[in-house]
Structure 1
Amino acid sequence: MTRTIILRDTTLREGAQIPGVRVADADKQRFVALLDEMGVPEIEIGLPDGVNACADLSRFIRQHRLRIQPTGLVPCYGNRWRQQVDLAADCGLRVDVLVPTSDCLLRETDHYRMSADEIVPRLSETIAYAKNRRVPAGAALMDAGRAPRERLLDIVRKLNAERLVIYDSVGTLLPWQMSALINDIRQAMTTPILVHCHNDHGMATANTLAALNAGAVAADVAVNGLGGRAGNAALEEVVMALENLCGFSTGVDTRRLRELSAFVERMTGLANSPLKPIAGRYCFAHAPVMHIRCIAGGNPEAFEPFDPQLVGAERTYGFGLPVDYTGALEPFLRKSGVTLSPAQTQILLDKLRGKPDWSEEQILKLIHDIHS
């Protein structure tokens, strides 16, 4: 049986930490509706300072009977956690109770106001209150990757949470370290694990996959990898890696990934790199002669990991390298069913060099225009 992974989108919550990004309420609603249409099961809409900002969006989800489950964050180190849980109950949110676990965070006593010995009592009190209000509550362990391992395992052994959220808060873990961490936690308890990975060292997607392969059941992802500092694991990358490389199921409609990515670009004003995996303009663009001959000639797997249509993309061809592209024309001429003279072939090559990317349909039309 194919293993199903639960993905929680954190684009709105993490994206709010990017300087200059402000998302209109109407765009938030359209974004949530698009995620729901695509089959993303959960969205984190709460900001770290409480659930209050989530209320309107949660009501929108309920009013439109969307399937996507909204989640809020409730810090147990503040003095407002009871009213935040109460609001979550009123809005139909599940919550994850946030707590610092590493020494460097616990040193910030002015903000977190707790010692290592207070972690379990504070978490337990908040989770118990949430359960009394019939609010599903998980335990969200900030900076778990840098917490002393015995402290972390002692915490998870004593908790009675619905799930455990493991934060690699500043992206310091390597994939094999993430695997070891998840294995250690799973040996200490049986609570389902969700992993939240940051990309400060470019490891967010790899660490997410490592955690899921080691037995975590869910992961936080953000469209286009948005998030604080260097961002988070990219939804589109994690989905395609799980589906194509790991043999897992996500339930996400991959054919709309490019559509989703483009929407978030417009929503946030942040453009992707053209080289970005899955969503970048050039990730299905081909310029070397051999690549063009193979792909246009009917052997695309030679230089493509999967069909671009799987993510709603279209492959393109470029003819701008300082090489002779005559050999690259053969598959297109064969498909066109026409023969060009040497002079016409040169005209074709000159026109192809004048534009950076061409679809096969455009190339075939150009051939017929020149031939006629």
Structure 2
Amino acid sequence: MTKPALILHDPTLRDGQHAVRHQLDAQQIRAYAAAADAAGVPVVEVGHGNGLGASSHQVGHSRISDDEMLATAREALPHSQLAAMMLPGWATSDDLRGAIRHGVDVVRVAAHCTEATVTERHLGTIRELEADAQGVLLMSHMASPDQLADQCALMVSYGAQGVCIFDSAGHYLPHDVSARITAITKAVDVPIAFHGHNNLGMAIANSIAAVDAGARVLDACARGFGAGAGNTQLEVLVAVLERYGHHTGIDLRLLAEATDLAEQILMPAPPTIDSVSLVSGLAGVFSGFKKPVLAAAEQTGVRAWDLFIELGRRRVIAGQEDVIPDTARDLAKQGAHR
């Protein structure tokens, strides 16, 4: 039986920014984008790790502006689509207009997994500007399959032409993914995407589970470049999909060269599952909290492991970085020192 064709969405130049404090420069963006384009990667996502308009003291200043990042990438992507992400509260409609003016083809509007209503205005604006509007649910392990299905249906009613769930904490096992994607396929009639993180070493297996349950778009990064333990590893995912008989349209040999280049020029070292990334996945805490958690633990003398467990207990989500030092101080007062 012919396996369905899949679309690979590559956020190396956006999610990878978390791993280098959003300090990628124009030369790095240009070089990797050109290599990904040559390999036939269909969609390349670019920007600050937290998306359009997010460069700030709270989550980190980008080395270069959104405008420069997008203009640089657009020139280097004659064949691939250019994507951007935004989170309401960081980006505005003006940021969307600027991004699309720079040639962005796909804009993803992301919200916490139970807060799809905040995407309505921005999804409508993207449709009006004639770009591909997609809705994203972050920290999706914090919602049940039926809740996610309802939230995805809301985003489609607002104009989303595709929906995506993020395993932002790398917390899922394959059966978790299967249940959620299956529920979403029954609720919407648009392409469904899955974005995995590798904290428990399950990103590839979870991505295959998503496909088997009906997802037709998969996110993955060169060498897994991303927050914490990193994302689904792009070149490995393409190889595994080929073994399963899925067509991606990507030249795996050229992709391997592109990901070799990414390791050389983008990252100090490829992501690894260290003890901090592991506990982040176990606790169900956003992978991008790794660096601020380590900093807060060092300042207060508490164990990073204990701090992650407590953040998970408090159900802290992305965007609440200011809670981390407060939680660390609370643990220190309780005597939870190293």
Q: TM-score, normalised by structure 2?
A: 0.70
* Ranges in structure 1 where 5+ consecutive residues have no aligned partner: 103-115, 274-372
Q: Does 1:41 align with 2:39?
A: no
User: 1:214 and 1:17, CA in 2 relative to 1: closer, same or farther beyond 3 A?
Assistant: same
Aligned-residue offset at 1:228: 0.3
Q: 1:254 aligns with which of 252, 255, 277?
A: 252
| Aligned counterparts of 1:180 and 1:96: Cα–Cα separation in 2 | 23
Aligned-residue offset at 1:5: 1.0
Q: 2:86 aligns with which of 62, 74, 92?
A: 74
Give the count of matched residue pairs: 256
Q: Please say if residues 39 and 252 of structure 1, whose CA atoms lie closer than 8 Å, have aligned partners that are also in contact.
A: yes
| Aligned counterparts of 2:237 and 2:254: Cα–Cα separation in 1 | 14
My pick for the range that moved more, 15-24 or 155-164, is 15-24
Q: Please say if residues 10 and 220 of structure 2, whose CA atoms lie closer than 8 Å, have aligned partners that are also in contact.
A: yes
Residue 293 (structure 1) aligns with:
none
Q: Does 1:95 align with 2:107?
A: yes
Q: TM-score, normalised by structure 1?
A: 0.64
| Aligned counterparts of 1:187 and 1:164: Cα–Cα separation in 2 | 13
Amino acid at match of 2:52: G
Residue 135 (structure 1) aligns with:
131
| Aligned counterparts of 2:51 and 2:77: Cα–Cα separation in 1 | 27
Please show how residues 298-313 of structure 1 align to structure 2 within 5 Å: none
Aligned-residue offset at 1:79: 6.1
Amino acid at match of 2:151: I
| Aligned counterparts of 1:145 and 1:24: Cα–Cα separation in 2 | 33
My pick for the range that moved more, 152-161 or 221-230, is 152-161
- Greater length-normalized contact order (CA 8 Å, ≥ 6 residues apart): 2
3-state SS in 2 of match to 1:258: helix
Deviations along 1:56-90, one digit per CA (max 9) or x if unpaired, are 343345445611111111112x1642112111221
Residue 31 (structure 2) aligns with:
30
| Aligned counterparts of 2:66 and 2:44: Cα–Cα separation in 1 | 11
Residue 278 (structure 1) aligns with:
none
Residue 171 (structure 1) aligns with:
170
| Aligned counterparts of 1:221 and 1:181: Cα–Cα separation in 2 | 19
| Aligned counterparts of 1:129 and 1:81: Cα–Cα separation in 2 | 10
Deviations along 1:283-339, one digit per CA (max 9) or x if unpaired, are xxxxxxxxxxxxxxxxxxxxxxxxxxxxxxxxxxxxxxxxxxxxxxxxxxxxxxxxx
Please show how residues 103-182 of structure 1 align to structure 2 within 5 Å: 116=115, 119-120=116-117, 122-160=118-156, 161-182=160-181
In angstroms, what is the RMSD of aligned CA positions?
2.3
User: 1:241 and 1:83, CA in 2 relative to 1: closer, same or farther beyond 3 A?
Assistant: same
3-state SS in 1 of match to 2:100: helix
Residue 347 (structure 1) aligns with:
none
3-state SS in 1 of match to 2:82: strand
Please show how residues 287-366 of structure 1 align to structure 2 within 5 Å: none
Aligned-residue offset at 1:223: 0.7
Q: Does 1:224 align with 2:223?
A: yes
User: 1:146 and 1:29, CA in 2 relative to 1: closer, same or farther beyond 3 A?
Assistant: same
3-state SS in 2 of match to 1:139: strand
Residue 209 (structure 2) aligns with:
210
Q: Please say if residues 21 and 268 of structure 1, whose CA atoms lie closer than 8 Å, have aligned partners that are also in contact.
A: no
Q: Please say if residues 7 and 218 of structure 1, whose CA atoms lie closer than 8 Å, have aligned partners that are also in contact.
A: yes
User: 1:64 and 1:224, CA in 2 relative to 1: closer, same or farther beyond 3 A?
Assistant: closer
Residue 188 (structure 1) aligns with:
187
Amino acid at match of 1:255: R
Q: Does 1:50 align with 2:49?
A: no
User: 1:255 and 1:89, CA in 2 relative to 1: closer, same or farther beyond 3 A?
Assistant: closer
Residue 319 (structure 2) aligns with:
none
User: 1:133 and 1:222, CA in 2 relative to 1: closer, same or farther beyond 3 A?
Assistant: same
| Aligned counterparts of 1:269 and 1:139: Cα–Cα separation in 2 | 29
3-state SS in 2 of match to 1:159: helix
Aligned-residue offset at 1:253: 1.0
Deviations along 1:190-237, one digit per CA (max 9) or x if unpaired, are 111111101111111111111012111111111111110110000011
3-state SS in 2 of match to 1:134: coil
* Ranges in structure 2 where 5+ consecutive residues have no aligned partner: 55-64, 272-338
| Aligned counterparts of 1:131 and 1:37: Cα–Cα separation in 2 | 29
